[in-house]
Amino acid sequence: MERTFLAVPVPPRVRATYTRFREDARDWKGWRWVSPQNLHVTLRFLGPAEAAQLRALRLALVQAVRTTERFTATLGGGGTFGSRRVPNVLWIGFDEGLEELVALLRAVSQAADSVGFAPEKRVGKPHLTVARNAKRQALEAWPGGIQFDGFRGQALPVEGVALYSSHLGPAGAVYTQVWTVPLAGA
């Protein structure tokens, strides 16, 4: 069994912006940056899953999103999760399409619940996680603060829901896209 999750894939141009952002922040010691190829918008963490359960999930997702039209979300500012002084996570949010992403997240969660995945304790806010505070540094330790301007206005096409598997290796997690269920019109 491998760890799995459902997410919206991120296009190469957003990954390129992220790579520049990460290079500009290279002086931020103690932060673990997400690998550009691992960027995604998590909709539902599933955990370990058997092949039969994943097949059932795929069928449930096809039904759950059959009338959800593809759309474009627009990246906006960002923020942190955790305490204001010593945050845990740095993330990029959405200026447009957030309502549609939340609706998609709910549909995906209902499909996962319907095939026996453990219900989520809380509904998350769709975002791109870009870094984790590995050394628990205080916010004041960030040289020049956080500038998310390069992301603002970038389009993120939402055309389907992808199943990813996660494998922990010596260089960190590696995410592999297993399959995608397209949205209507995709």
The answer to whether position 46 is within a domain reads: yes
pLDDT per position as a tens digit, 32-89: 889 999 999 999 999 999 999 999 999 999 999 999 999 999 998 888 888 777 888 8
For residue 87, what are its two tokens? Answer: 């945050």
Q: Is residue 27 part of a domain?
A: yes
pTM here? 0.89
CATH assignment at residue 9: 3.90.1140.10
Q: Does a structural domain hold residue 9?
A: yes
Provide the pLDDT for residue 41. Answer: 96
Kindly report, residue by residue over 8-37, the tens digit of the pLDDT.
999 999 999 889 888 877 777 778 889 999
Q: Establish if 39 belongs to a structural domain.
A: yes
How many domains, in total, are found in the chain?
1
Distances (CA, A) of 53 to 50, 168, 181: 5, 22, 15
107 lies in some domain: yes
Q: Which pLDDT belongs to residue 178?
A: 95
Domain that holds residue 116: 2-181
Would 186 be classed as within a structural domain? no
- pLDDT beyond 90 at 94: yes
Specify if 95 maps to a domain: yes
